[in-house]
Structure 1
């Protein structure tokens, strides 16, 4: 059995028998003398278990609390191990997940709220502060081109989302270089390419909209109940396009990647509904849906001469214009 199971068994044996000898614990747990000593020490120092050795019975028991209850009777021991337990492997996985969250957490708001939990996880692992820091250094998350979100706005958006309340936001639209005030019902938080977005029902335009949280200039949680929109509807309308850009006019792009780029692109997920067709010469044909071509064009420009747009003609023409404009700088 692993250490977690041993802790529970030690707890159960002492509770059920009142006092258990060291030899009996060794036999029941099937562990060495040194291992049992470490387990008992861990339960006392890390988990605050009031385990004491009683010389008269030559066994271990739970120390009775001092004082009496409201009825005048002596209080009984009430120690309980935590209701949720993890193995060491699971704890390391949770710490790794925390590191991942920190990598996504450009404003520091998530890490701040998770720190108490992180401290408890380190305690359960039995690691020192130095060992904990070394463990966290073993995982590194790089998030290029991050667009930080103001912590106070993120927290208000998250609170409204969880409490199902409406938000009054001031939003800066970059394309118009103007601010607007809107009442929205938050539906979903999305983290995409180092940036946080809010999918919400906009009560001004009476439709689903996606807002970049770094473009918020104000956010206040209202008392009004948020409008309920089925998640299937949200996904159908906002996730059908390519990347973060939504749209109802979905078209099909056909792209041909060179043999050099194909070995990389073949393992990339550009869209959940993409279709890949390897070619005899080693090149790769990809078909995928898109609505707004903004982000698709950016990804195509990243591949430069290693990709050719076979269709539709409008997308091919836009990419040609972008390439010509870029060439004009040199």
Structure 2
């Protein structure tokens, strides 16, 4: 561990400790000699202004002074070489993915600085080509539209745009107060207050055209109301839950389903025969049915009866496509 990383580790140990940290523990954590540790403590206190206090007794111990230790932070950018490498990898992945490419130019100076810091610490640029990111279902997105929408969200200004709904293929003009951007299944959605409908709506950003940021300030909808309206049901479709679905998965599929996150309020349990039962709230059945269909014979909708019948109809129609009946 070089001096840079020892100072960073020492700072984190002292800042995170509720009680004075004994000298033996510091020596073990830093892997250095007593003389080196005392030099690092002196540098941290005298050069960087850390509020270090020593506590006497049979074994020396150190801490940050009560009240000031919580507020003290190291000046500048203090990250270990592995953290810098991870940050560089994250930046690289952001630049490769969809609208993240918009940020690549803006983040270029930051990327160069990280590479300089890595070199200064004796680290090498990580082989980013060994990290592979495969997009699934990502739809084409106009970069200018994305920038306008994101800017309106962050600057809290209203948006005017033309929108073509994918389900009905109908076109309309909208004026909205943007609330937040949601990244869901490799695509972006705008959660907004629709002033014409006087209701919260979610818009697929790839279906927005002629986006124009207005000078009028956006109204803010309470976060709890946003979550209740737009995030309390399964999937991206808005609306408060109208029912809970119960789905049972075969013992084979259960190995994947039991570890997957479907919804923040999901309830799951193992059945005696090795199957897995999943319960979750939904508003629109469309997306839920599509996701359950992917499991084929390994999934069965048990409740409610109306959802079970919808699934049966879909399966009959799919079978008819193959049998010609």
Q: 1:180 aligns with which of 169, 172, 186?
A: 172
Where does residue 114 of structure 2 map in the other structure? 121
CA gap 1:314/1:91 in 2 versus in 1, 3 angstroms? same
Rounded Cα–Cα distance in structure 2 between residues aligned with 1:285 and 1:294: 20
Rounded Cα–Cα distance in structure 2 between residues aligned with 1:317 and 1:296: 14
1:301, CA displacement in angstroms? 0.6
1:100, CA displacement in angstroms? 3.9
Structure 2 counterparts to residues 1-330 of structure 1, below 5 A: 2-4=2-4, 83-102=76-95, 104-106=97-99, 108-126=101-119, 132=125, 135-330=127-322
Rounded Cα–Cα distance in structure 2 between residues aligned with 1:283 and 1:6: 50
Alignment RMSD (CA, Å): 2.5
Where does residue 51 of structure 1 map in the other structure? none
Rounded Cα–Cα distance in structure 2 between residues aligned with 1:326 and 1:113: 48
CA gap 1:126/1:301 in 2 versus in 1, 3 angstroms? same
1:3, CA displacement in angstroms? 4.4
Where does residue 55 of structure 1 map in the other structure? none
User: What is the SS of the residue equivalent to 1:126?
Assistant: helix
Normalized against structure 2, the TM-score is what? Answer: 0.73
Do the aligned residues in 1 keep the contact of 2:94 with 2:100 (CA within 8 Å)?
no
User: What is the SS of the residue equivalent to 1:236?
Assistant: helix
Where in structure 1 are there 5+ consecutive unaligned residues? Answer: 9-26, 32-80
Normalized against structure 1, the TM-score is what? Answer: 0.72
Rounded Cα–Cα distance in structure 2 between residues aligned with 1:124 and 1:109: 24
Deviations 1:120-159 (A, max 9, x none): 21222129xxx64x52123222211111211111111111
Deviations 1:82-126 (A, max 9, x none): 723322122112123224424543562133332222222122212
Rounded Cα–Cα distance in structure 2 between residues aligned with 1:245 and 1:6: 49
Rounded Cα–Cα distance in structure 2 between residues aligned with 1:6 and 1:304: 54
Do the aligned residues in 1 keep the contact of 2:246 with 2:301 (CA within 8 Å)?
yes
Where in structure 2 are there 5+ consecutive unaligned residues? Answer: 9-32, 38-73
Do the aligned residues in 2 keep the contact of 1:167 with 1:222 (CA within 8 Å)?
yes
Residues 138-147 or 285-294, more deviating: 138-147
1:160, CA displacement in angstroms? 1.0
Do the aligned residues in 2 keep the contact of 1:260 with 1:306 (CA within 8 Å)?
yes
Deviations 1:177-212 (A, max 9, x none): 122111111111111101011111111111111011
Deviations 1:305-326 (A, max 9, x none): 0011111111111111111111
Which structure has the greater CA radius of gyration?
1
Where does residue 38 of structure 1 map in the other structure? none
